[in-house]
Structure formats: C-alpha cells, structure tokens
Structure 1
Amino acid sequence: MKRDALFDNAKFILIFLVVFGHMIQPFTDGSKSMYTLYMWIYTFHMPAFILLAGFFAKGAGNKGYIAKLAKKLLFPYLIFQTIYSGYFFFIGKESWATGLFYPHWSLWFLVSMFCWHLLLQLFSRIPPLAGMAITVSIGVLVGYFDTIGHAYSLSRTFVFFPFFLAGYWLSKENIAQWRTVPVRIVSLAVMAVVAGLLIILPEINSGWLLGSKSYAVLNMENWGGLIRLGIYLLAGLMIVSVIAWMPGREMRWTSLGQRTLYVYLLHGFFIQYFRQIDAFKVDGILDVFGLAVLSMLIVLLLSSKPALTLAQPFIEGKFAFLRKRQQTS
C-alpha cells in the first residue's frame, strides 16, 4: 500500500503517547490531574494504533503472508522476551522471571498482533457488520472467564480484536469522512467531555482500558459486560475524534512514523529503569512538560538511524549495515 503522510503522522504521534503514557503511569496514584491525563490517553491510543495496524493488513491471505508475519512478530517477541528477562534481573525488578508465554510488559502487542492476523484469515470472509458483532461479543464474553488473562496475551487479543478488524474494513474514503469540518467540531466536544467526565467521576480502575483482566478481578463481575460495551463505544468515538485532527501533510518527522516498532520494543529499557530508581517526581505542570519532552527525546532517539542499525538484527533479523558496507567496499 502506498504510504500516506496522514497515517505515518498518526503513528508517530501515537507512539509518542505510548511512551508518554508509560512515563507518567507511576505518578497517577494520589494525583487526580495525572490520573485524568493518563486515562484520557488510554481511552484511545492503543485502540487507534491497533485500528491502523488492521488498516494496513489488507494483504491478509497472500502467499507466504503468515510466514512473513511470524518472522516480523514472533521472532522479535522471542528475542525481546529473553532480553527483557535478563535486563529486569539486572536492574533488580522482581517480575523478571516470567515464562516464555507470559509476555513481559509491552511485548503482549507482538503476540496479539500475530493472533489478530491469524483470526483475520477467518473474519475477512465474514460480512463486516456480522464480523464486528461477533468480535465485540467475544470481547465482552471473555471478561467473565478468570482463566483468560495475561498468559499468551489471550485477554487482550480478544478484547482489542474488534479495533483491528474495524481497521481492516475501513477505506481511505471512510477515514477522509472523519476529517471534515463538522466532524472536527464535534470531535473537540467529545474529547473535552471525556476529559471532564474523568475529572468529575470517581476514579476508574485503569484495568478497564488495558483489556487484560477479568471482570471479577475488576470487582464488577455482574455488570462488567455492559461496562466493556461502553468502553468500546468510548474508544470508537475517541479514535474518530483524534484521527480527525491528525496532520495530513508531509512533516519533517513524518518518516519517523515508519519506525514505531523500534520505539515500541526499545523504550521499555528507559521506562523500566526510570521506574526502578524513582528517577523523577511530579510536583507541577513544568514536571509534566519535562516528562513529555523526555518522552519525545526517547522517541526521536529510538527512531534514529543509529538506533535502527544497532537494533535491526534483533527486531528484523537483518544486517543491512553489513550489506551496505560490502556494497561500498
């Protein structure tokens, strides 16, 4: 698919929000403002990322598709599951000794992404509305089973799959309709209302937005299904609202949106170290701004060509820098 500046811009901004969200998470306890900011970001940033991943999965079913996906997703998962285990042990993090199929921290995304592509082999053959209804129903139902959780990233796979499938069925024309003036005006109201509700309502367990816990764990076993339906609706509205305002023209940083996997896999080395040593504190808006600047610097560093050169063998199993050296020698 030909690259479009809108999507690369969106991916770059979303990966910044992923890093920033992880950066501020330790400061949400006891701070209503930090909690509100964190939860507001989490209402849309991963669902939007997943929707865009589904949008670019139009080649599902092509010859060799699954084999290429295994190399792209499972290979770096196995590598980084091992690397993070060693790294967490080195910095003294207690949860370092997890099993191979209990993804460390953010690595769940790779496992779930591979599973979403597998599920797409079936759901791409089902009419869109029927498929969406089925996947949403499954996403709601899995919350009633305590046995479906972090292991194998099963819970998140089922909970977030509707966004991936929605992205698969979306066209550029559909997304263009989100970026009209009337939609943009309404989207401002949506984003403001969501922020306002997060401020005035009692604090909600962030587990509702992470998709990895059962309703029983979230202390809402009876009404959990209705709450998850509401979260699906909320996430859908926020995705449209945010994408409506993404810049659509080529920017100086647009090309960095092609390197989000590197940022996603590598930023944990910074975040987990900062958390382990309690590197920062937040006493005011300037501290939050400083964390945002640091998050952006991490994104820019991990999107840089030197970072790509060093990490490429572990993420893509390639040694492009060696080939270039051989070609020039």
Structure 2
Amino acid sequence: MIALLPGTPTAHKRRVPLWDNARWVAITLMVIGHAILKLISESDVSYSVYLFIYAFHVPIFVAVSGYFAKSGAPGTRHLHRLLTDIVFPYLIFETIWTLVRGLTGHRLWFDYSTASWTLWFLIALTVWRVSLPYLVLLRAPLLISIVISIGAGYLSSLDDTFSMARTLGLLPFFVFGWKLRQLQITGRWLTLRTVAVWRWRTGAILLFAALFAFIATNITLLRALKVRRFLLYDSSYGSFGYGEFWAGGIRLGLIFLAFALIVAFLLLMPRRQTWFTGFGAATMYIYLLHSFLLYPFRESGILTGPQPAWALPGMILLSIAISVLLSQPIVRTLFRPLVEPRARWLFRRESATPTGTIVLPPEITR
C-alpha cells in the first residue's frame, strides 16, 4: 500500500496517527476539489473554495509522498513495489477508463502515454521515486528542483504526454517532503508540549484564514488573472496567456506559499487517534475509485449552469461521504486485486544476477 499515495508503513511497523490523519484529510480535500469543479464557472463562492483547496492540497499530496520516499540506492524489493504499487495500478485503471470512455460514446483508443483524469499522479510518482536517489546526490536538491519547476513552465513542448509538465512542475514539493523527513520533524512535533503546539496551530489557522479571506475578497481579479492555471502546474505559462519573462516569478511565489501551507496543514492535523485515523490506510482506494462515483456528475451536465445555494455544501458533504465509503474494509476487500495487484506470476522467483565481465577460456585468449 502506498501512502498518499506511497509510503504507508508496512504491517510490521507502527503506524503514526499524525500521518494517517493527514493522508485521509488531504485525499478528502482532493475529492472535494474534483466534485466542485463544475460549479466554479458560475459561482464565485465555489471558485473561492476551489482556489483555496488547490493552493495546498496537491502540494500536500506530493510532499507526503516525498516524506516517505526512499532516497537510497533502489533494491529488488523497492523496484518490485514500484511496479505493484504504482505502475500496475496505472495500467489497470488507464485500461478501465479507456473502456469507460468507449462505452459512453467516445473514441476507443488505448493511449497509455496520456493519463486519464486523476491518473497523472501515478506517472509523476514513478518518475519522482526513480529520480530521487540521483537528485539527492547533488548539492541543494530542493533549490535545484525549484529551478527545474520554474524552467519547465517556459517550455511549450511540455504537455500531458507522460504528465511531464506536472511531473517537473510539482517536483519541488516531493523534494520538500523528503527534506522534512531529513529534519526529523515528526519526532520533534509529537514530543512538543500542548501549549507550544497550540501556539504553532494558532499561527497555522491565521495563515489559512488570511489566505481564504484574500481569495474571497479578490475572486474576480484572481479569475481574470487565471490563477487556477498556475495552481494546476499542467502547462506552460504561455499556453494560458503569460508569455512574459516574469511569469516564472508567479510560480516561484506560489511554490513558497505552498511550502508554508504544507507545514501549516501538518501542524493542524491531530497527533493522536481520531475517528478517521484508520481511513488513512485506504487513501489509494479513495484516489483510484472516487472518480468513478463523480463521473456521472461530471458528464451528465447536472452541475453545469447556475446552481442553487445548497449545491456547494451538498457536493462537499457528498465528497466526504464518498471518502468515508471508500475507506471501508469491504471496499478494500472487493477492489484489492485492481488497486493492489500482486501479479506474482510476472516476477522471477529469484533476482536476476548482475551483468559481469565475461571470462574467456585460456585457449581463446591465446
């Protein structure tokens, strides 16, 4: 199982409630963001909520994955899990989505280089996990990742093919998560006294409140400036009207804002067991399955056009219900072959031997 997606501790290791709480809250925010997407064109309130969520929920997603990523030389077990936890689920669900589109009147075309809807994250995650051991060999890997992200925004050739625009654009958050692990923040935070904890949490609450107030009071301007396109990290600046040389400065500012929001988010997560802590082990199921439940709302047109006032809170409550539903043990039992395919028949029983120098017989070398 992977933690938000990858990184869930293995069964023999003690799970840390803080991280399971963070995983489930972050994945639920993702479901909410996807659920209210169709509302934002007609509602400034919905758009405000959407921008608020997207200012930090994807960076948190990526950072938590980076926190649990291994930066050492990959071994056989690591490569095995890379295939079973990420690559195989991507191939399975990309195939399913291709068939769904075919059955709903779209062209039936199997193209595994372009991810369907939310599956881009699995492609990006594969690249991040493979490249991290090499990246951390360099000095200042976080700074290098920021430069790569900003530079990628100037390349119009980067698009949805193998999710390269997002993979490079969001790379700093993956490295930032790894950096938090190096700083051993979990142990320090869990041993901090309650008074000190709430001092930090007060600051985090004020940061989020200020962010939402700024977005809500400037939503018309933010809509005109196409800030949403910057928050998606999925295309070049010029593709949405920012051909100026300073466009990378906007991404830089959003990256540092997201760094602060990631820390603030983690500060607000309960440090102890809660009613949803156990759901943190099911984030992969929520991630891969929630889109099927939202697909009818997305394609039917029921959410297009002006909506009643209860549409936004209704979709938020529905999203939370979906996240809870997909966290249940019965869902994990039914869908485990698709979400966590072991595919043992594909693997060697013994690891392949390394390639070595061929030692020729003496009679050949004479």
Note whether the superposition's TM-score is higher than 0.5. Answer: yes
Could you tell me which runs of 5 or more consecutive residues in structure 2 were left unpaired when the two chains were aligned: 1-8, 344-366
Kindly indicate whether residue 311 of structure 2 is the aligned counterpart of residue 287 of structure 1.
yes
What residue in structure 2 maps to residue 47 of structure 1? Answer: 59
Q: Give the conservation status (yes or no) of the 8 Å contact 1:73–1:110.
A: yes
Q: Give the conservation status (yes or no) of the 8 Å contact 2:18–2:272.
A: yes
- Shift of residue 173, structure 1, vs aligned partner: 4.1
Kindly indicate whether residue 227 of structure 2 is the aligned counterpart of residue 214 of structure 1.
no
Taking the TM superposition and a 5 Å limit, the aligned residue runs for 1:1-329 are 1=9, 2-58=14-70, 60-64=72-76, 65-92=78-105, 94=106, 97=109, 99-127=111-139, 130-171=140-181, 173-175=184-186, 176=188, 180-201=197-218, 202=221, 203=223, 204-205=225-226, 206-222=228-244, 223-280=246-303, 282-284=307-309, 286-318=310-342
**Structure 1 residues 221 and 18: alpha-carbon distance in aligned structure 2, compared to 1, 3 A threshold:** same
- Shift of residue 122, structure 1, vs aligned partner: 0.5
**Structure 1 residues 152 and 95: alpha-carbon distance in aligned structure 2, compared to 1, 3 A threshold:** farther
Which shows bigger deviation, 274-283 or 30-39?
274-283
Q: Give the conservation status (yes or no) of the 8 Å contact 1:20–1:291.
A: yes
- Shift of residue 153, structure 1, vs aligned partner: 0.6
SS at structure 2 position matched to 1:151: coil
What residue in structure 1 maps to residue 357 of structure 2? Answer: none
Which structure has the greater CA radius of gyration? Answer: 2
What residue in structure 2 maps to residue 324 of structure 1? Answer: none
Q: Deviations over 1:50-94 (max 9, x none)?
A: 1111111136434221232122111011111110011123234x5
SS at structure 1 position matched to 2:238: coil
Larger helix proportion of the pair: 1
- Shift of residue 97, structure 1, vs aligned partner: 4.1
Q: Give the conservation status (yes or no) of the 8 Å contact 1:43–1:235.
A: yes
Q: Structure 2: how far apart are the matches of 1:180 and 1:160?
A: 29
Q: Give the conservation status (yes or no) of the 8 Å contact 2:71–2:136.
A: no
SS at structure 2 position matched to 1:82: helix
What do you get for the CA RMSD once the two structures are aligned? 2.1
Which shows bigger deviation, 14-23 or 291-300?
291-300
AA in 2 matched with 1:271? L
Q: Deviations over 1:40-59 (max 9, x none)?
A: 00011110111111111136
Q: Deviations over 1:119-171 (max 9, x none)?
A: 102022234xx111110000000111111111101011111111111111213
Could you tell me which runs of 5 or more consecutive residues in structure 1 were left unpaired when the two chains were aligned: 320-329
Q: Structure 1: how far apart are the matches of 2:261 and 2:42?
A: 26
AA in 2 matched with 1:182? R
- Shift of residue 180, structure 1, vs aligned partner: 3.0
Q: Structure 2: how far apart are the matches of 1:96 and 1:48?
A: 34
SS at structure 2 position matched to 1:260: helix
Q: Give the conservation status (yes or no) of the 8 Å contact 2:204–2:267.
A: yes
Q: Structure 2: how far apart are the matches of 1:158 and 1:59?
A: 18
Give the TM-score of the pair, scaled to structure 2: 0.81
Which shows bigger deviation, 26-35 or 174-183?
174-183
**Structure 1 residues 95 and 267: alpha-carbon distance in aligned structure 2, compared to 1, 3 A threshold:** farther
What residue in structure 2 maps to residue 323 of structure 1? Answer: none
Q: Give the conservation status (yes or no) of the 8 Å contact 2:71–2:132.
A: no
Q: Structure 1: how far apart are the matches of 2:31 and 2:266?
A: 19
How many residue pairs match? The answer is 315
Q: Structure 2: how far apart are the matches of 1:233 and 1:113?
A: 21
**Structure 1 residues 270 and 234: alpha-carbon distance in aligned structure 2, compared to 1, 3 A threshold:** same
Q: Give the conservation status (yes or no) of the 8 Å contact 2:201–2:268.
A: yes
Q: Give the conservation status (yes or no) of the 8 Å contact 2:68–2:178.
A: yes
Percent of residue pairs bearing the same amino acid type: 30
Q: Structure 2: how far apart are the matches of 1:227 and 1:260?
A: 31
